[in-house]
Chain A
Amino acid sequence: MIVLTFAALTLREAARRKVLRALAVLTVVLLALSAWGFHTLVTREFDGALLTSGELRLIASQLLNLVMFGLSLIAALGTAFLAGPTVAGEMESGAALAILARPIRRSTVLAGKWLGLVAFGGGFVALAGLAQFVIVYATTGYWPSDPVTGLALLAFQTAVLLTLGLLFSTLISPMASGVVAVGLFGATWIAGVVGGVGRGLGNDSVAAVGTVSQVLLPTDGLWRGAMYAFQDPAALLGFGGPAVKGGFPFLSDAPLTWAYLAWTIAWTALVLGLAALLLRRRDL
């Protein structure tokens, strides 16, 4: 299968380029920092006794979400900066000429590379996320409520972003495509936080900012679904009010709906299809 050939080739590229090393270093630094932070949380800062177990779980939930956000940011940066060069970079350098003169379709190449990148991003999220859970468990005794769903949604978020990166890389230069994709990722996240504040304050038009941006680029919606799966629902119930109603950037007030998940899948297919269409029409 030619698609799998390209998926394997993309994984090999990721493994042999410096991206992987940079990613590994960043991840280890983040994990080490979080281990230190969680350790401090339970031993020194609050002296254990001053904190009820409910409070500890709420804080652990929030901190875990914060660190997972860091991880997802690393995954997003890594894959977005891999996705650009692997398509647009090969076209600019001329490496695509020899490949596309073979009896294969351009869409096959794109699908294969997409698959390889998704496997790479997903593998990274699963490994680093699991390591993070173990760290949190060892230091605070907290284990996320639904780790598998959370990690799957986080991997999906990475897939969404790299799909967007692939689309941009058929239009603009490889580096620019990575920068724009990561920039949009950050912008939707901020819009999501703004929307959450709006919901907390009961202001519908501000809340709509988050909703609209989550539909346009589903990374933030998936991220909020993932957070919901990581945090402790029982601990959240004890703390009502605007803070939990979306006002907090690292707490989520609702699980992902099936409708939103379906839209995200459709969005990904659409964007990938559009990238394939643009790629097919492009002169080399």
Chain B
Amino acid sequence: MTNAVWTSGLRKRYRKRTAVDGVSFAVARGEVLGLLGPNGAGKTTVIKMMLGLVRPDAGEVMLLGRPVTDPRARAKVGYLPELFRYQPWLTAREVLDLHVRLAGAGVPEKERHDTLGLVGLADRAGDRVGGFSKGMQQRLGLAVALVARPEFVVLDEPTSALDPVGRADVRDILLSLKERGVAVLLNSHLIGEVERVCDRVVILDRGRVAASGTLAELLGGREVRLRLEKVTSEAEERLRSAGPLSRDGDLFTVAELEADVVPDLVADLVELGVRVHSVEPGRVSLEDRLLDILGSER
């Protein structure tokens, strides 16, 4: 099996409101996929159908090689819900013990404790969850999602209650999961986070897939923005030879070029007598692209 999860034609209505309307996509094993979209797009509903928590009206889900109607499909799944809450009368350690037992995983005591350490709760292991702050509960939720050696981790807005340090921790955790070849489905509004760790992105809007693809596919190649003075026609020709050129006053944008040709380009421009004020390599941000896609949908 090459897919961690595969969904086809998922559909869900809540009374008169269609929440999800024919969503199909897959997360390959070892892949980190970002699920993006505005509030109410249906992301959480898709995730819940994927895990067998909500019954789809139509469509099919294969989870780690098994139909999702078979509970065993969830054996190697770690899940942090958007609405996270854990038994307040248990301690953090007891919550992890419970989940390890339910997952049927043989995780030694030390590894469980290390997982709590990973989310910054090592010194609160013996405290009741009822006394935890929202952010601490979300950290515990992350530990719960990670503790039973999952092969597929589903994180629904994992940083919604976290401080900046916590967000950085989550990024590190995501990168280490990626390194270990654990598949991840990440739903987050922190687009920078998604852009940094995800291999591929699926954008949902009003219950449908509005766009999907690798970051390169969605964002196109790199570009470089130069603020220039005294640009001769010769210099403009040189710019055009590097890639498609657009101009806005003294701001020149060369698209679809590789980063390593930039030094040569700048050297040539200087030689041609152009005064170079600034050179900003970059590319269309995912945020701009997202707004673009969602805007054209309406």
Contact = CB atoms under 8 A, between A and B. Distances in A.
A203 interface: no
B89 A104 contact: no
Given A13-B89, A95-B87, A283-B54, A102 B74 contact: yes
B160 to A, nearest CB: 13
B103 to A, nearest CB: 6
A216 interface: no
A9 interface: yes
Interface in B60-117: 71-75, 77, 79-81, 83-87, 89-90, 98-99, 101-104
B84 A98 contact: yes
B20 interface: no
B48 interface: yes
Nearest to A284: B53
Interface string B254-267: 00000000000000
Contacts of B102: 2, 5, 99, 102-104
B83 A97 contact: yes
A5 B90 CA distance: 14
Contacts of B52: 100-101
Contacts of B42: none
Interface in A55-106: 93-95, 97-105
Nearest to B77: A101
Contacts of B71: 103-105
Q: Dominant SS at the A interface?
A: helix
Interface string A224-254: 0000000000000000000000000000000
Given A5-B98, A102-B99, A94 B85 contact: yes
How large, as a class, is the contact surface on chain B?
20 to 34
B84 A101 contact: no
Interface in A91-139: 93-95, 97-105
A12 interface: yes
Nearest to B73: A103
A187 to B, nearest CB: 32
A17 B54 CA distance: 30
A104 B77 CA distance: 12
Nearest to A2: B102
B85 A102 contact: no
A13 B52 CA distance: 26
Contacts of A94: 81, 83-85
Contacts of B77: 101
Contacts of A98: 79-81, 84, 86, 99, 141, 144
Q: How large is the interface on A (under 10, 10 to 19, 20 to 34, 35 or more residues)?
A: 20 to 34
B144 A16 contact: no
B51 interface: yes
Contacts of B98: 5, 9
A215 to B, nearest CB: 34
Contacts of A93: 85
B74 A101 contact: yes
A2 B55 CA distance: 23
A281 interface: yes
A102 B75 CA distance: 6
A284 B54 CA distance: 6
B108 to A, nearest CB: 19
A101 B101 CA distance: 13
Interface string A9-28: 10011001100000000000
Max chain A CB contacts within 10 Å: which of B51, B86, B102, B103?
B102
A113 to B, nearest CB: 12
A5 B81 contact: no
B58 to A, nearest CB: 15
A23 to B, nearest CB: 16
A2 B72 CA distance: 14
B72 A103 contact: yes
Contacts of B101: 2, 5
Contact of B53 (A2, A9, A13, A101): A101
Interface of B: 48, 51-55, 71-75, 77, 79-81, 83-87, 89-90, 98-99, 101-104, 141, 144
Interface of A: 2, 5, 9, 12-13, 16-17, 93-95, 97-105, 281, 283-284
Given A13-B87, A283-B54, 19 more contacts: A2-B101, A5-B101, A12-B89, A13-B89, A94-B84, A95-B85, A97-B81, A98-B86, A100-B53, A101-B53, A102-B74, A102-B99, A103-B72, A103-B102, A103-B103, A104-B102, A105-B71, A283-B53, A284-B53
**What are the 10 tightest A-B residue pairs by CB atom distance, in nearest-first order?**
A94-B83, A102-B102, A16-B89, A97-B81, A101-B79, A103-B75, A94-B85, A284-B53, A283-B54, A103-B74
6 contacts: A95-B87, A98-B79, A98-B144, A102-B102, A102-B103, A103-B102
